[in-house]
Amino acid sequence: MSKLIINGGHKIQGELKVSGAKNSVLPILAATVLNGKINVIHDIPQLSDVNVMTKILRAVGCVVKRENNTMIVDSSRLNNSKIPEELVREMRSSIVFLGAMLARCGETVVSYPGGCEIGPRPIDLHLKSLREMGAEIEEAHGFLTCKAKALKGCDIQLDFPSVGATENIMLAAVFAEGTTIIRNAAREPEIKDLQDFINAMGGKVSGAGSATIRINGVKELQEIEHTIIPDRIVAGTYLIATAMTKGEIVLKNVIPEHLQSTIYKLKESGCRILYTHDSIKLIAPEKLKAIESIKTLPYPGFPTDMQSQIMALMSISDGISIITENIFENRYKHAYELIRMGANIKIDGRVAIIKGVPKLTGAKVTANDLRGGAALILAGMAAEGTTIIENAKHIERGYDHIQDSLKNVGADIRKL
């Protein structure tokens, strides 16, 4: 099992290029089954989640080649509509194959998805929406058997702006008869990237980035070449690493507009931030200020995927901060690991109260999930002494060789 060893007390200084977005790559890889042709996708990060998606594509008959950060997927030979159970259980995002496979094959069998244990993430909205489009879905023995002779466009109102449900409906509706309208759709930038991918293939999707998305069904799709948008969560993690180590960094290949809620909170903590259309510069203050209130919300609110990292930052700020986690109910496991490093954090249900301490100290801690693991790296970099992070495999799900990137800008970090 992989470990990370971090010697704290080293400033982050320099320049980093941000990789393509994990949360864009995964649904776009699922979308490659739609056209039955060649898909060339650039800026794909080296992640364990991407490896799982690649194995799924190969299992259903696609030919997949990777050349550095470019992936070529030929879905013309797709010959199997069943997604291997062991792969679905490794990663929750694999559920987006449900809509894509229904659209392409008219049937699929998928087990209930796995992934990080950060609280219940039901797929009822996915299933309800696909049934409204005409899919017959049977749930038994942990499997979903889905069939649809012909999906039909309809008006779908989501109870919650679920990213996964929005993506599944978009993928299922590409070939559906008529028009599908998604109301209360997720507005994340990754949804817009999926729309751009589908449209470049010849699909007809509009409205991504707003609460209403419209998909007009088409008969056929074309070959495509596409570049993934930069990862806003990776960028936010590097900005917080710099703030915690009192450093200075320039991030390249970013879209600052996608990071506004994170940038706003970092400015509130005393950081100086400058940006152009594709770069961000952060200069850390000598003393971090507490942020009175942080509430996670669907985009464009503060992202739940940045909650653990901002908690690490607030643990060494001057004053008291209050975080309210509104998306997942079990996303504070990292707090107890931060407490082992000397943080003063109290958890009450969905609320975390953080009283900043003068310093953290190195300790042996465990990464229980992807973003919580990232928070422990940040804490270890700012801590006095050595931190050992066990179960670091979780971090590899969403960060492309993070130890190498951070080492290049001054961190003392290595993988065992």
Residues known to be catalytic: 116
Which DSSP string do the residues of 49-101 spell out, in sequence order? HHHHHHHHHHHTT-EEEEETTEEEEE-TT----BPPHHHHTT-GGGGGHHHHH
Listed residue (39, 24, 44, 25) closest to 75, CA to CA = 39
- The owner of tokens 């066990």 is 390
End-to-end CA distance of the chain: 9
- The owner of tokens 């259980």 is 89
Q: Is 344 annotated as a binding residue?
A: no
Length of the chain, please?
Answer: 416
Cα distances from 372 to residues 226, 304, 333, 380, in angstroms, run 31, 11, 7, 12
Q: Is 66 annotated as a binding residue?
A: no
Cα distances from 370 to residues 105, 110, 159, 192, 305, in angstroms, run 33, 24, 27, 24, 9
Q: Is 330 annotated as a binding residue?
A: no
Give the DSSP H/E element, type plus range, for residue 189: helix 189-200
Burial class (CB in 10 A: 0-12, 13-18, 19+), 112: middle
CA 24 to chain centre: 8
Q: Is 123 annotated as a binding residue?
A: yes
Q: Which residues of 16-54 are buried (b: 16+ CB within 10 A; e: fewer)?
A: bebbbbbbbbbbbbbbbbbbbbbbbbebbbebebbbbbb
Give start and end residues of each alpha helix (H) in 269-351: 307-314, 333-340
Q: Is 305 annotated as a binding residue?
A: yes
* Token pair of 285 as six digits: 């203050």
| Rounded distance between C-alpha atoms, residue 350 and residue 146, angstroms | 35
Residue 166 sits at φ, ψ, to 5 deg, of -60, -45
Cα distances from 79 to residues 62, 107, 292, 312, in angstroms, run 8, 12, 55, 47
Q: Is 278 annotated as a binding residue?
A: no
Annotated binding site for phosphoenolpyruvate: 22-23
Binding residues: 22-23, 92, 121-125, 305, 327
Q: Which residues are annotated as a binding site for UDP-N-acetyl-alpha-D-glucosamine?
A: 92, 121-125, 305, 327
